[in-house]
């Protein structure tokens, strides 16, 4: 079983318009990239038994949007409703990972 974790930046900077299309925000582009990856992965025979986990930059425990035990449909549904939030700083655990 492979566990694939997506960490999606939901900070206020993700509201800016993407240069790619001019209409989508950077968060919309990130969501599309996750959805594209999952669709392509599902075509592979090695994807049988894959589990997906969706994390955001919010404070724990609210940052876990979909745990690895949830099915793919739940994960995809939660990905569609991820919204931007505006933290003052990175959560300590994420800041620690990024500084290593």
pTM above 0.75, yes or no: no
Q: Give dist(CA 52, CA 64) in Å, integer.
A: 11
DSSP annotation string for 27-73: HHHHHHHHHHHHHHHHTSGGGTT-EEEEEESSSTTTTEEE-TTS-HH
What is the reported pLDDT for 100? 46
| Cβ(54)–Cβ(8) below 8 Å | yes
Which two structure tokens, joined as six digits, stand for 64?
A: 């876990």
Q: What are the domain boundaries of the chain?
A: 3-99
Statement: residue 36 has pLDDT above 60: yes
Residue positions counted in the chain: 100
pLDDT single digits (tens) 58-92: 888 888 887 777 766 766 776 677 777 765 555 66
Q: What is the mean pLDDT of residues 21-28?
A: 79
């Amino acid at each position: 079983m492979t566990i694939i974790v997506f960490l999606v930046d939901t900070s206020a900077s993700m509201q800016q318009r993407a240069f790619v299309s001019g209409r989508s925000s950077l968060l919309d582009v990130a969501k599309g990239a996750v959805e594209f990856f999952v669709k392509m992965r599902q075509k592979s025979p090695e994807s049988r038994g894959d589990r997906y986990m969706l994390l955001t930059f919010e404070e724990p425990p609210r940052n876990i949007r979909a745990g690895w035990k949830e099915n793919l449909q739940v994960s995809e549904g939660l990905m569609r409703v991820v919204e931007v939030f505006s933290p003052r700083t990175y959560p300590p655990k994420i800041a620690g990972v990024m500084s290593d």
